Chain A
Amino acid sequence: MSAPYQKVAYYPGCALEGTGHAYDRSTRAVGKALGLELVDLEHWNCCGAMEVKNVDPKLQTYLSARNLSIAKDMGFETVMAPCNGCYHNLKKAEYDLAHDPASVEVNRRLTAKAGHTEYQPGEVTTIHALDWIKQAIGEEGLKARIRNSLAGLKVANYYGCMYTRPRHIFPEKDKGPNSESTLKPHFMDDLLTAAGAECVEYPLKTACCGGAHSLSDADTSTRLVLNLLTTAEACGAEVIATECPTCHTGLEMHQVRAEKVLGQKTRVKILYFTQLLGMALGLSARKVGVQENFSDPSDLLRARRLG
């Protein structure tokens, strides 16, 4: 087992305390079942996603940098952020502080005003929940712990955009066979395959879902999401696995809206990858928060004897 990821700082972010609570719950449950330790960042703040970044990107860099400085002060070299938005913003702050003198200056000024340690790029590594499980446990380690295989369950893995874009803030990706790919990400496929699932070839795994425009331009988002859902079904998927609370909520919300507004019903279920992994590890559906999902997968889970 890889020592650095055995115990990591955990940055849930605001979505995992709200709409994405099931992701938080299942991430913690899976960590516990795998013997991995998560230590919550003390007094963490918003990463600056959406609201702050839209208005003042340098302030967003500071907010994310403050979270990184907390991790450092707590003695951690690694912080794990399951939310794509948080993960992306922490990575972006890291990049900005290493490459943009104006961001460094704003961060220095606000840090002094707030009276905490100034974060220096390179002091803490930000990882995603996928990196965490993949590197700390790995496929073979996971296989050895599976108690309720996902065998026969056809899954389309949807990574969304902020896990891989823009490419320059993820210098560790695209580094060969054991690294993640920005063109065709595969870490979620690797983990769920190890849990027994049949991951279908899904050509839209990083395609746009409308994301930040989900509410302001709902029709655009609904049409994009409907195509993601129908394509997953055409690929034979029964479930779309997600690893981002914004994607997850968008898929669930626009699945309902597509039926209401466009009259197009889709049956594919939407579950966080941590919920699927948790049930494969023998945890109940309730334990991984399936009842909190908007999309009700209970018939499928019953048929597959999961959860």
Chain B
Amino acid sequence: MTDAMVSIEDRIAAILAAPTEALAARACAHADELLLLGETILEHWVASRGLVPTGTEVEGFRLLALHRQGAQGEPSFNACRETCRELVYHSNLVRGEPSHPAVARRIRLGAMVARHLSLFVDGKLQQAGLGEFCCAARPLRAGEPVAAGAAHV
């Protein structure tokens, strides 16, 4: 795991390990923190491509704007499009019903979604080709020398 992601992973692990009562008592704060963690994860990705992370919002969320920025010219980054939207959904769910009996469970599921985002981006930082083959339908080795006689033309 890259250093950039270690502290984020630690924080997600702490949320997952927190007692139910502690999560429920600060439900909205945890919802906000999960979104902020997601934004921080995507900032690392955007910055790694030499760009300044956007401060704008899409549909009212900076996380979605960062995803859009991160996927420009990099369609494989759409592999985490749904994960970003699930994170927004879980944050909304918690914020919308902070006193719901299942609020701690919702925060934990949101944390697991954030963890997937972190794992995916960390994987992309180490292996840029992650998601290329499947999600972007793009070849991994196009442009590499083809063995003599193997070309179709």
Residues of A within 8 A of B (CB): 50, 53-59, 62, 88, 92, 106, 109-110, 161-162, 165-166, 169, 183-184, 203-208, 210-213, 217, 220, 223-224, 227-228, 230-231, 234-235
Pairs A–B under 8 Å by Cβ, sample size 11: A54-B140, A54-B142, A55-B142, A57-B139, A58-B152, A165-B137, A204-B83, A207-B83, A208-B130, A210-B123, A210-B130
The answer to whether A53 and B139 have CB atoms under 8 Å apart is: yes
Query: Contact: A165 with B79, CB < 8 Å?
Result: yes
Contact of A183 with B82 at beta-carbon distance under 8 Å, contacts A56-B146, A165-B135, A208-B120 already known: yes
Q: Does B85 contact A (CB under 8 A)?
A: yes
Chain B residues in 8 Å Cβ range of A208: 79-80, 116, 120, 123, 130-131, 135
Asked if B123 and A217 make an inter-chain contact with CB atoms under 8 angstroms apart, the answer reads yes
Q: Could you tell me how many residues of chain B have their Cβ less than 8 Å away from some Cβ of chain A? A: 42
Q: Please determine whether B130 and A220 come into contact, CB atoms closer than 8 angstroms.
A: yes
Q: Give Cα A165–Cα B113 distance, bound, in whole angstroms.
A: 19
B134 near A211: Cβ-Cβ < 8 Å: yes
Distance A217 CA – B146 CA, assembled complex (angstroms): 23
- Is there an interface contact between A161 and B134, defined as CB atoms closer than 8 Å? yes
B152, A203: Cβ atoms closer than 8 Å: no
* B116 contact set on A, CB distance < 8 A: 204, 207-208, 224, 227-228, 231
Residue of B nearest to A204 (CB): B116
Binary A-proximity of B122-137 (CB < 8 A = 1, otherwise 0): 1100110111011111
Docked Cα-Cα span, A54 to B105, in Å, equals 41
Known: A203-B86, A208-B135. A213 touches B115 (CB 8 A): no
20 more A-B residue pairs beyond the given contacts A53-B137, A165-B137, A223-B119, with a C-beta to C-beta distance below 8 A:
A53-B139, A54-B141, A57-B138, A57-B139, A58-B152, A88-B134, A110-B152, A162-B134, A165-B78, A183-B82, A183-B85, A203-B86, A204-B86, A204-B113, A204-B116, A207-B83, A211-B131, A217-B130, A220-B130, A230-B112
Q: How far is the CB of B38 from chain A (nearest CB, A)?
A: 13
Report B-chain residues with C-beta under 8 Å of the C-beta of A169: 137
Quick check: A203 and B112 within 8 Å, CB to CB? yes
Q: Which 4 pairs across A and B sit closest by C-beta, in order of nearness?
A: A212-B133, A220-B123, A203-B86, A231-B112
Q: Which of B99-114 contact A (CB under 8 A)?
A: 105, 108-109, 112-113
For A207, A212, A217, A224, the residue with the greatest tally of chain B CB atoms inside 10 Å of its CB is A207
